Amino acid sequence: MQVSTLRNVLDANDLIAKENRKEFDTHGCFVVNLMSAPGSGKTSILERTLGSLNGRLKAAVIEGDVQSTLDADRLIPLGVPVVQINTDPHFGGECHLDARMVRNALPGLDMDGIDLVLIENVGNLVCPAEFRVGEDRKVMVLSVAEGDDKPLKYPLMFRVSDLLLLNKVDLLGYSNFDPARFRANVARVNPTLPVIELSAKTGHGFQGWIQWLMREVAVASRGRGPCGEI
Ligand code: MG
Ligand code: ZN
């Protein structure tokens, strides 16, 4: 794709993302775009997050996958509304969510009474970073199993994110992942990116992540006013 064509695609995407954002704001929904490589544990994090919230926030999930409803099926027992987006069948196997896909999913989501919409993006460390979908915050997940060099190899994802969840810290003793080297690599591409170390398997670190979510939602809703106005 030529640079100018790509620019136009991203500009068109941003317009739809702004419309999505307006719609989310109207309903008082705070929206997190959760991004990572495949297998880093986004769905496991969502499962434990929804359990840990324990009704303190009313959450809903938009689940993006190239194919299958495997991840969505794991979340339905948790009793939250889940809307599935499959990016594959008609759009040539898209490897990311874009604003149009999210817009098309919105009629399937009753946003009244929902405080928090968690969007699980397609597993990919590259292009999800380029496409806004109407989110308030971008949160990326990296797992210890992926290695501490990833900030240097996929800098854009680290640069655009508002928070990094370092998952699978229970594996630290079994890998060459060096937390100090990792933090130094993160600082080289995004010095202000906060990092929360956690384990979706053991629950370690979830208190900090849940506190972050609650705080962000509270600040956003104060800015919106009592009736959802901006
Ligand atoms: Mg998943
Ligand atoms: Zn893509």
Model pLDDT for residues 147-160, shown as the tens digit of each residue:
999 999 999 999 99
CA of 65 to the centre of ligand 1 (A): 8
CA of 53 to the centre of ligand 2 (A): 31
Asked whether residue 90 carries a pLDDT value surpassing 90, the answer given is no
**For the chain, counts of helices (H) and of strands (E):** 8, 7
pLDDT at 20: 98
CA of 227 to the centre of ligand 1 (A): 34
CA of 222 to the centre of ligand 2 (A): 34
pLDDT at 205: 98
CA of 226 to the centre of ligand 1 (A): 34
CA of 14 to the centre of ligand 1 (A): 25
- Nearest ligand by distance to the CA of 123: 1
CA of 43 to the centre of ligand 1 (A): 4
Asked whether residue 227 carries a pLDDT value surpassing 70, the answer given is no
Q: Can you tell me the distance from the alpha carbon of 17 to that of 67, in angstroms, rounded to the nearest whole number?
A: 23
- Nearest ligand by distance to the CA of 84: 1
Question: What residues have a C-beta under 5 A from ligand 1, the ion?
Answer: 42-43, 71
**Crossing angle (nearest 10°) for helices 206-224 and 42-53:** 70
Q: ∠215-220-221 over CA atoms, to 5°?
A: 100
Name which residue leads in pLDDT, 36 or 88. Answer: 36
Which residues on adjacent β-strands are paired with residue 138?
33
pLDDT, tens digit (0-9, with 9 covering 90-100), for 27-77: 999 999 999 999 999 999 999 999 999 889 999 999 998 888 888 899 989
Q: In 3D, which of 204, 153, 143, 140 has the Cα closest to residue 174? A: 143
Tell me the mean pLDDT in the region 80-101.
83
Q: Can you tell me the distance from the alpha carbon of 191 to that of 184, in angstroms, rounded to the nearest whole number?
A: 9
- The fraction of the chain above a pLDDT of 90, given in percent, is 81
Q: How confident is the model at residue 228 (pLDDT cuts 50, 70, 90)?
A: very low
Contact 81, 114 (CB under 8 A): yes
pLDDT at 225: 65
Alpha helices in 76-112 (DSSP H): 99-105
CA of 158 to the centre of ligand 2 (A): 16
pLDDT at 130: 95
CA of 5 to the centre of ligand 2 (A): 15
